[in-house]
Amino acid sequence: MVTPDAAAWDALRLSLWVAVWATTLAVPLALWVAWLLARRDFRGKALLNAAVHLPLVLPPVVTGYLLLLTFSPAAPLGRALEATIGLTLAFRWTGAVLAAIVMGFPLMVRAIRMAIEAVDPRIEDAAATLGAPRYAVFSRVTLPLILPGILAGSVMGFAKAMGEFGATITFVANIPGQTQTLPLAIWTALQIPGGEGQAAFMAGLSCLVALGAVLLSEWLARRVAARIAGA
């Protein structure tokens, strides 16, 4: 039988696993979308911007319900993913990753977009006039300048993934050892008489992880800033 302490550590490990995967998968897409919104004018730009920020204004339970309708085994897309690549999202930890990506994506895009918009386009244009191809301008000029924004967005996405509750419990349920992340475990403990102590212990773990992520982000941002200044 799993002890409460063991369940808490299991929930912490799953939360970290989900948050790392969600952040890793979301950053490249968030960078691309942020660059499109910051540097390109195209038909449907306002619609894309609205769609990106929609999870911020929708109740998380609604977002989770929409994910369930889209990716459940009974849905066409859910069936297709399971049949083609064997990927099941509903009621699995992989679904918790998807929920964390969807909920944290707007925060990541916003932070990275602000960093891109802070870069003077004339710097990029000057590099292009010297003959540098577009990908070289981005990788050698733009990317180093926006690294602090990418780090900030990554930390915000990681923190959101660690704290995500509504969309996760709706989409993947609250299965101990499988989909029960730390916020779900805290909520479960609070439903049990006398579980306040266990909930406080897990809340403390959550605070320590969040503090560690912020401190790591600040350290990395200073390192990046120092490298750019010395370049």
Distance CA 183, CA 169 (A): 10
DSSP state of 75: S
Q: What is the pLDDT at residue 2? A: 45
Euclidean distance between the first and the last CA atom of the chain, given in angstroms as a whole number: 57
Residue 167 — left, alpha, or beta (φ > 0 → left; ψ -120 to 50 → alpha)? alpha
- Structural domain boundaries, residue 154: 4-230
Dihedral sign for Cα 218, 222, 223, 225, please. positive
Structural domains of the chain, count: 1
Q: What is the pLDDT at residue 1? A: 41
Q: What is the pLDDT at residue 109? A: 96
3-state secondary structure of 107: helix
Q: What is the pLDDT at residue 230? A: 64
| pLDDT average per 10 residues of sequence, the chain (231 residues) | 70 95 96 93 92 94 96 93 93 96 95 91 81 80 88 91 95 93 94 89 90 84 72 57
Q: What is the pLDDT at residue 80? A: 95
HSE at residue 43, side-chain half, CA atoms within 13 A, is: 0
Q: What is the pLDDT at residue 3? A: 52
Distance CA 37, CA 77 (A): 28
CATH classification of the domain holding 71: 1.10.3720.10
- Residue count of the chain: 231
